[in-house]
Amino acid sequence: MFDNTHAHITTWAIAIILFFVAVGLHNAGKAKGMKVVHMILRLFYLLIILTGALLFWKHQGIDPALYGVKALVGIWVIGMLEMVLVRMNKGKSTKVFWIQLIISLIIVIILGFKLPLGF
């Protein structure tokens, strides 16, 4: 968990799948199912942050600025995942948050792969 990115990749990949499952359930009108998946997704937010923070603490000395930006953009992605689902449930517009989600996700993935660990 400290020296390779496998656990971190696993947590965010599962979170993104759960996010789309939650959106699908919402669109299918399955409010109860969505609520359950949303709760599990929130647990995965914590796991993403935990695995990201462990990598951060061990390796940020390599390039503190870029690691700091990576962590902040990671939190931004999580914030947007949550905003889209919460606003969807309230029947509010989600467009601005979908756009931010796509932008932040692209940036975090580019930054993640640019940093020295992993691929």
Q: Is 80 in the site for ligand HEM (CB under 6 A)?
A: no
Sort 98 into a burial class: Cβ within 10 Å, 0-12 / 13-18 / 19+: middle
Q: Is 61 in the site for ligand HEM (CB under 6 A)?
A: no
Nearest approach, Cβ of 18 to ligand HEM (angstroms)?
11
Question: What sign does the dihedral 25-83-102-39 (CA atoms) show?
Answer: negative
CA 41 centroid distance within chain? 9
Q: Is 103 in the site for ligand HEM (CB under 6 A)?
A: no
Nearest approach, Cβ of 60 to ligand HEM (angstroms)?
7
Cα within 13 Å of Cα(44), Cβ side: 23
Q: Is 116 in the site for ligand HEM (CB under 6 A)?
A: yes
Segment near ligand HEM (CB under 6 A); pick from 22-30, 33-41, 48-56, 91-99: 48-56
Residue of the chain from 12, 25, 26, 80 that contacts ligand HEM (CB under 6 A): 12
Q: Is 52 in the site for ligand HEM (CB under 6 A)?
A: yes
Q: From residue 97, give the alpha-carbon distance in Å to each of 9, 23, 53, 105.
A: 23, 14, 25, 12
